[in-house]
Amino acid sequence: MKLKMMYTFLNTDIALIEKELEQRIETKEALITNASLHLLQAGGKRIRPVFVLLAGKFGSYDVNQIKHVAVALELIHMASLVHDDVIDDADMRRGKPTIKAKWDNRIAMYTGDYIFARALETITKIEQVDAHKILSDTMVELTLGEIEQIKDKYDLNQDLRTYLRRIKRKTALLIAASCQLGAIAAGAPESIHKKLFLFGYYVGMSFQITDDILDFTSSEEKLGKPVGSDLLQGNITLPVLYALEDPDFRLKVERLFVADDQTELISEIITYITSSDVIDRSVKVSERYLEKAMMILKELPDNKARKALYQIAKYIGKRKF
């Protein structure tokens, strides 16, 4: 089943969010509007707004209130993508030139800051102070996670804990916040929104681990970037961490990091990773997080949103790109 088919009952509200996103980024300065629209129209799964809306179904759902959270979270995600492309020096995203490639780094910085400001303007329509405490804390953690990622690049001596803490900050916390804030904005009780936070956290962890696996097992066509890109950029992900237990593999990676021509070595590394047990071991960790997410779901009231969350979590665990 396609992801979008799992929450067709939200179609009208998702269309509303899409329209609001376009309105939010519009400004008298044509370049900012064009740059932001360029990114917005490149698409994306809009998974964060979907989580916000679904979580809102566990309280008094009012789309005119909850939309502020959904729009703000997608804008925060968008702003971070614009800056990430400067960080990664990336020219392409979702098959389209990045803002930094189409214009330059400075335009990307200003556009990212502009989108971030629009996100905060939007979220201030939510009056619950707790929502702001959670989101602001998440945003600080998100950046600290990115700094950690840069710090840990090319470091072959990092351990599983370092990796898990990094992906928690980098990916899981924003998904967790999406779930929790949707529920808070809908006035759901604490017992519910805390469970939704945990659900989002576990799903987010599983999502990132799957992403890290796909970097080796998927194709360049599906990924939109060469297979093994993460490792080529020095990012030590879960499959690599497991493979590093083999001293021969470790030597190969050390050589890769200093090689002028990396083609042959990365190909050997990909073959090693895909033919050994490290992918299975990584999948098991991802599945463990998904199981925890499913357990949490069982504690939530049974409704259409819970079913959709279940389907999405299952999809995330099995996705191939």
Partner 1 sequence: MNVQNIYDTVADMKEQIHAELSHPYVQKFIHHPTVDENKLLYICSFLTTLSLEQQKWSRCALSVMLVQTALDTHDLVSTQDVDSEGTQLHKRQLTVLAGDYYSGLYYYYLAQTGQIDLIKVIASSIKEINIAKIHIYHNQTQDVQDMMTNFFTVESSLINSLCDYFNCPEWRELLEHACRLNAISTQLIKLAKQEASILLDNYYKNGMKSIGIQEALYASSEPSISVVKQYLAAGSPFINEPLKEHLYEMIGSLERLKNVVGEG
Binding residues (CB under 8 A) for partner 1: these are 27-29, 31-32, 80, 83, 86-87, 89, 103-107, 109-111, 113-114, 116-118, 120-121, 124, 127, 129, 132-133, 135-137, 139-140, 142-144, 146-147, 150-151, 234
| Least distance (Å) between residue 32 CB and partner 1 | 6
Choose between 67 and 118: whose C-beta lies nearer to partner 1.
118
Whether 171 and 162 have beta carbons less than 8 Å apart is answered as no
| Least distance (Å) between residue 217 CB and partner 1 | 25
Single-letter amino acid code for the residue at 213: I
Choose between 32 and 198: whose C-beta lies nearer to partner 1.
32
Kind plus residue range of the DSSP H or E element containing 39: helix 30-40
Torsion, Cα 22 23 28 32, to 10 degrees, reads -30
d(Cα 116, Cα 178) in Å, to the nearest integer? 16
* Look-up of token digits 């200003």: 110
> How many other CB atoms are there within 10 angstroms of residue 250's CB atom?
14
| Least distance (Å) between residue 133 CB and partner 1 | 5
Choose between 197 and 242: whose C-beta lies nearer to partner 1.
197
| Least distance (Å) between residue 145 CB and partner 1 | 10
Choose between 86 and 305: whose C-beta lies nearer to partner 1.
86
Choose between 103 and 310: whose C-beta lies nearer to partner 1.
103
| Least distance (Å) between residue 146 CB and partner 1 | 5
d(Cα 91, Cα 93) in Å, to the nearest integer? 7
Single-letter amino acid code for the residue at 60: S
| Least distance (Å) between residue 151 CB and partner 1 | 5
Choose between 114 and 272: whose C-beta lies nearer to partner 1.
114
Backbone angles phi, psi at 107, to 5 degrees: -60, -40
d(Cα 157, Cα 177) in Å, to the nearest integer? 31
